[in-house]
Structure 1
């Protein structure tokens, strides 16, 4: 899997740089946020390689080469069935950890005592 930081999460450039060194793979912040160090450049490169590998893997999976009209049936399949939704929820709940700040990977500032989390429960 990959560790991905959302936009605006890393505001402290020192924490931002070290987060790549601690395991962050992809940050949705602008690359102009900081001048990377040699160590963080290497870590960022590793993250980009993981992302490209994942996209390539997904594109080469079951639906590889699937473009209408060759696979209209597959594209029109009901992916919102009860069985599909159950499997999707189980996969998501076992694959996602919202906040587990091991080794201070998340760029949380100790001085702030409030944390906002948004999204469906």
Structure 2
């Protein structure tokens, strides 16, 4: 189970923070959706998602060619509370990325 120092170390990078908050708000996202919302390259987004998965914040599932990332359902309540607080503190960049995501026409279909 993740401890506070691991959580905050994982979220100390802005790319990892924004990706985690987008996934938290949306439920699950694939790399292509995060690339568009964050205006970042595939290698950069994938590298950060791998780090978030390795530290236990995210899990993934494969559907055809897509890999979807979601928040680890085993996160302790205090960690989810920290994400709620981060959504408030990082509201402007998060809102911009969510708006970009909501207007995307190329989102994959989920089963």
Q: TM-score, normalised by structure 1?
A: 0.29
The structure where helix makes up a greater share of residues is 2
| Higher normalized contact order (CA 8 Å, seq sep 6+, divided by chain length) | 2
The structure where strand makes up a greater share of residues is 2
The structure with more radius of gyration? 1
